[in-house]
Amino acid sequence: MEEREGEVRWDGLCSRDAAARDAALDTIGQAVLRRAESIASGAAADGLPVPAARDGLGEALARLLMLSKRCPFPDVREKSEAILSGVQELGIRIPRPLGHGPSRFIPEKETIQVGKEDATMHTLFAESFATLGRLDNVTLVMVFHPQYLESFLKTQHYLLQMDGPLPLHYRHYIGIMAAARHQCSYLVNLHVNDFLHVGGDPKWLNGLENAPQKLQNLGELNKMLAHRPWLITKEHIEQLLKTEENSWSLAELIHAVVLLTHYHSLASFTFGCGISPEIDCEGGHTFRPPSVSNYCICDITNGYHGVDEIHASPAGSIPVSSTESVCEVEALMEKMKQLQECRDEEEASQEEMATRFEREKRESMLVCSSEDEESAATRDVSRHFEDTSYGYKDFSRHGMHVPTFRVQDYSWEDHGYSLVNRLYPDVGQLLDEKFHIAYNLTYNTMAMHKDVDTSMLRRAIWNYIHCMFGIRYDDYDYGEINQLLDRSFKVYIKTVVCTPEKTTKRMYDSFWRQFEHSEKVHVNLLLVEARMQAELLYALRAITRYMT
C-alpha cells in the first residue's frame, strides 16, 4: 500500500455517485485486507503473535475508522465497518476513537449525529464530504446553524479550490501559517495533509525558512493581523508589493489577506468550541485497548467511554442551581427591556457617546483574557511562523496611543467590500453574505424563552469585539455593553478573540449557564465574523491608502 496509490484510491470516495464510491471502497478493502493478511501470515510462519498494524496499514485503518463514524453516506459507513471487522478477525488490532464527539465542550449526545440528520443537513454534509474528502468536526459543530454553515462552506471552498490569484499549495500553506500563529494544531494538521495532497513541497513543512522568500515575507503581516492589526500601515503593504522578484501583486495580496483572516478567526472558533482532533488524525484515535481502571466494564458495553461525559448539562463543571441560572436569563431580558425603554425616551449626545466608547475601550483592556496560563507553542506548530514571542497586546499599553478607527470613515460596506470584489471577484460578495448571516441570525429564543428580539444582544457582542480592536460606531451607545455582557462573558469573548489557544472548558461553562449549546455556538459565529471583519478593515484600509 504505497502512499501515492492510497491517495488515488481514497479520492474515489468523494464521488456523489454511489456506484463509484462502492467501486473505490472495494479497491481499498482489497488492498487493506491483502496487507493485513500478509502481516498476519508472516507472524504465524515465524511463530510470533500478530503484530500491530504497520507499513501504512495503521493510517489506512484510522481513515476507515473515520469513514465508519463520520461519512454522510450509509453505504460507505457500513462497508468501512466491514473492512475493519475483517482486519480484526485476522488478529490485528483496529483503532478506536479517543474523545467523545466533535467537541470537548459539548456532550456528543447533544450534537447532530451523522446518519440521523435531516434532509437539509444531509445535503450540507454530503457537499462538505465531496468537497473536502471528509466531514470534519468544525462542520459537525457549525451545523447547529445550517444557514451559516452553507455560507461558510461555500466561501471556504472558493478561497481554497476555485480559480484565484494564488496557486493551490500556496493557499494551504498560508492556512498553515495563519493557524500556527495561535498554535492551532487541529487546523495545521488538516492543511498539512491538504498541502501535500495538492503537490506542495514537503521541505516547506520543516519550517517557514524553507518556504519561498515570497511566503516568508508574508510572515510580518500574518503576525500583525493575528495579534495587533491596528499597527498595519501602508508601508507594510508597500514592502510586500515592491520587493522586486519576490513581490506580491495586489490581487495575490488580497487573496492572502482573506485567507489569513479566515484562518485566524477559524482558530478562534476551533478553540472557542473545544473542537476535538479528527478521528483519523493524531490524538483522534488509539490502537491501545480501553483501560478499565477508570470505569466499570458495564460502562464499556453501554457505549460510555470515559469520565469526560459527565459534562452532560450546559452548566458543565460549574456548580450552579437551576434557579440561579434562570434568574440570570430573566435579569438579562429585563435589562434588554429597560435599555429599549431608555432608547425610546432619550438619546445621549455625541460627546457622551464618544466618552462611553473610550471608557469601554479602556475597560476592555482590564479584562484578563486568560486564566494566567502560558501556552508555549509546540515545536511542530511553531516552526510555521517566526517570532513566537509576538502575541496580543492591548493597543494603549505602555503609553502608546492608537487613534480610534471610526467606521464612518472606513467601513466594510462602503469601502472594503468593493475593494475585495474588484481585486478578487465574487469573494467580496461571499464574505458580505457570511457577515450578514452571522450578524442577523436569530431564532427569537433565549434559553427557555421564545419570541424574544435578540438584536440588541447580538449587536452588543459584535460591537464589543470591534471595540477591543479600537473600532467605533458613532451611532452606538457603548454604555449598553456593560449592561448586557457580564464579566465572565467578557473574559470568554476576549480570550476566544485575542488569545484563543488559552480558552478553557471552565470559561465556556461559566457564561450563559442556562443557555443551549447551540446558542453558545451562535456566540462563537459572531466572534468569528466580527474578528475577521476587524482584521480585514485594518488591512484593507492600509491597502487603500497605499493605492491612493
Active-site residues, by number, are 184
Q: Categorise residue 283: left if φ over 0, alpha if ψ from -120 to 50, beta otherwise.
A: left
- Measure the CA–CA gap between 318 and 514, rounded to whole angstroms: 11
Q: Categorise residue 261: left if φ over 0, alpha if ψ from -120 to 50, beta otherwise.
A: alpha
Cell numbers describing residue 460 = 452588543
Positive or negative, the Cα torsion across 505, 510, 516, 521? negative
Cell numbers describing residue 432 = 458580505
The letter for the amino acid at 208 is L
> CB burial class (10 A; 0-12, 13-18, 19+) of residue 190?
buried
Could you give the count of Cα atoms lying within 13 Å of 130 in the half-sphere of its Cβ?
14
Q: How far apart are the first and last CA of the chain?
A: 57
Q: Show the beta-strand stretches assigned E in 334-493.
A: 405-406, 445-446, 449-450, 471-472
Phi, psi of 97 (to 5 degrees): -70, 145
Nearest C-alpha neighbor of 190 from the set 294, 282, 80: 282
If DSSP codes are grouped into helix, strand and coil, which group holds residue 349? Answer: coil
- Measure the CA–CA gap between 284 and 115, rounded to whole angstroms: 20
Nearest C-alpha neighbor of 419 from the set 237, 547, 261: 547
- Measure the CA–CA gap between 291 and 7, rounded to whole angstroms: 34
